[in-house]
Amino acid sequence: MLSDLDIVFDFVGPDEYGGETAQVRQRVSDLGLDKYFELTGPLTGHDKWDALAKADVFLLPAHNENMPNSVLEAMAASLPVVATDVGAVREMLGDAAILVPIGDPAAIAAQLRTLHDDPKIRFELGLANRERVVNSYSFAYVELLLGKLYTCADIHPDLPPSAR
């Protein structure tokens, strides 16, 4: 449990299936945890980056994801990431991965408590995530990889498919 800590969870994102924000809001209220939760809905542009800049940790307790942009954005914002081991999250985070089992709130709480109690670890993981996203997911790096791929495959993107 984390109720002894001075923390607030900001839930950011749309109702992907319709109505889940209302369900979460009701559950939070039923449990008397309103002071610990903010449900902001979707954020874009400067609002999204401002929210990431104010955060200490990014949590993605997903049951199903592929390669979530939100994790890359958190990495770019130099945040440590706690996430479930779904999709490509493990590969995205590399050595800085803090992975928890799906549906295990105790494991999530333990990792969040560790990060709360040790600002040095938060800083080091955030720095590692920033470095990894710049070195492995930046436009410049992806452009370099695609150039190598096209060269190796002798593919010329400026030619029509019938001429390749």
Question: CATH number for the domain including 131?
Answer: 3.40.50.2000
In 95-164, where do the E strands start and end? 98-100
- pLDDT score, position 163: 52
Q: Is residue 10 included in any domain, yes or no?
A: no
Model confidence pLDDT, tens digit, residues 2-45: 889 989 999 999 888 888 899 999 999 999 999 999 999 999 99
Q: Is residue 90 included in any domain, yes or no?
A: yes
Segment 51-58 shows an average pLDDT of 97
Its pTM stands at 0.85
- pLDDT score, position 69: 95
- pLDDT score, position 84: 97
- Model confidence at 156, pLDDT cuts 50, 70, 90, reads low
Contact yes or no for 102/84 (Cβ under 8 A): yes
Q: Is residue 148 included in any domain, yes or no?
A: yes
- pLDDT score, position 51: 97
Model confidence pLDDT, tens digit, residues 81-131: 999 999 999 999 999 999 999 999 999 999 999 999 999 999 999 999 999
As given in the structure block, the two tokens for residue 14 are 């749309």
Whole-angstrom distance, CA of residue 63 vs CA of residue 59: 13
Listing from the earlier edge strand, what are the strands of the sheet with 98-100?
58-60, 81-84, 98-100
- pLDDT score, position 3: 83
Model confidence pLDDT, tens digit, residues 132-150: 999 999 888 888 888 888 7
Q: Is residue 88 included in any domain, yes or no?
A: yes
Q: Is residue 74 included in any domain, yes or no?
A: yes
Whole-angstrom distance, CA of residue 108 vs CA of residue 2: 10
Whole-angstrom distance, CA of residue 31 vs CA of residue 3: 12
Q: Which domain holds residue 110?
A: 43-163
Q: Is residue 29 included in any domain, yes or no?
A: no
Q: Is residue 132 included in any domain, yes or no?
A: yes
Q: Is residue 19 included in any domain, yes or no?
A: no
In the chain, where do the E strands start and end? 9-12, 37-41, 58-60, 81-84, 98-100
Contact yes or no for 79/53 (Cβ under 8 A): no
Number of domains comprising the chain: 1
